[in-house]
Amino acid sequence: MENDYMIKGPIFTGRTYQEYIQMFNLSIEKLKGKSILDCAAGASSFTPIMHSLGFDVKAVDTFYDKSPRILYQMCAEHLKVLKKALEKKGSYIWKFYKDPDEMFRERLKACKIFMSDYKMGKGERYIMADVRELPFPDDSFHLVLCSHLLYIYDHRLDWKFHLESINEMLRVSKGEVRIYPLVKEDGRKSIYLKRTLEHLQGKVDAKLERVDYIFRPSADEMLRLVKSLSVL
Ligand SMILES: C[S@@+](CC[C@H](N)C(=O)[O-])C[C@H]1O[C@@H](n2cnc3c(N)ncnc32)[C@H](O)[C@@H]1O
């Protein structure tokens, strides 16, 4: 039944640290001394691992007012649904993960890593906020990341949502904003990507950059918005 593979409301899962490094072409060497914000971070292991490596990193998500127990249950449940859905769909590219089982195991591990750090950093490193209204002053972070919120859900999140989110991430960044992916689930470029590029023309340096990560078809590019020179 189709409903077995659908989640009502926002999906709360998280990609691994290694997926983030590849999706955003990050170099740990270049990031030394830089502050980072992950927007709509979910249960990713990126923030906990970067924190354990000594980086100044924060994460925001609208679900970060919930208890660790509720978030873990939600993440484990959503990962199970995602695994079932991926077993049915033939369009995914099994390169980063060899199959849905491996994806499930690795992302559940990421979720556990997230959960143990969330217990300690809730309210400090993990802040409940909407990406359209970030509780930080202008120019707070060298790098702002956003994975799997914009573009991919352009059937549910309208242009106003995209515009407000991008403007807000640019406001709190003093360096760059990086967004991934730029395509919808079936691999077609989001209808809002061209509009974003038109809107930003003459304001920031906006470029598409190839990344060494692919899971959904054609999802091998990120959007890199550079506000000022040589911050990263
Ligand atoms: C598909 S998950 C992606 C999580 C993580 N970034 C990753 O790539 O693994 C989308 C996340 O966006 C969060 N979210 C949805 N709407 C949001 C908003 N307006 N502001 C901040 N976070 C939001 C959800 O709670 C969920 O954790």
Three-class DSSP category at 64: coil
Q: What is the best residue among 8, 18, 62, 103 to mutate for testing ligand 1's pocket, by most ligand atoms within 8 Å of CB?
A: 62
Label residue 2 exposed, middle or buried (CB < 10 Å: 0-12, 13-18, 19+): exposed
Can you give the pTM of this predicted structure?
A: 0.95
Domains and CATH numbers, the chain: 2-226 (3.40.50.150)
The verdict on the CB of residue 131 being under 6 Å from ligand 1 is yes
Which residue puts its alpha carbon closest to atom 20 of ligand 1?
A: 130
Three-class DSSP category at 135: coil
Three-class DSSP category at 215: coil
CB distance 144 to 37 below 8 Å: yes
Q: How many CB atoms lie within 10 A of CB 229?
A: 7
pLDDT digits (tens, 9 = 90+) for 26-83: 999 999 999 999 999 999 999 999 999 999 999 999 999 999 999 999 999 999 999 9
pLDDT digits (tens, 9 = 90+) for 81-113: 999 988 887 778 899 999 999 999 999 999 999
Does the pLDDT at position 15 exceed 80? yes
For tokens 């914000």, name the residue. Answer: 37
Three-class DSSP category at 138: coil
Cis peptide, bond prior to residue 181, ω within 30 of zero = yes
The verdict on the CB of residue 7 being under 6 Å from ligand 1 is no
Which residue puts its alpha carbon closest to atom 8 of ligand 1?
A: 147
What beta strand segments (E) does 1-155 contain?
35-39, 56-61, 126-128, 141-147
Range of weakest confidence among 114-123, 156-165, 184-193: 184-193
The verdict on the CB of residue 10 being under 6 Å from ligand 1 is yes
The verdict on the CB of residue 149 being under 6 Å from ligand 1 is yes
Query: Rounded to the nearest whole angstrom, what is the distance from the C-alpha of residue 165 to the centroid of ligand 1?
Result: 12
What are the C-alpha distances in Å from 35 to residues 32, 47, 56, 73, 213? 9, 11, 5, 30, 23
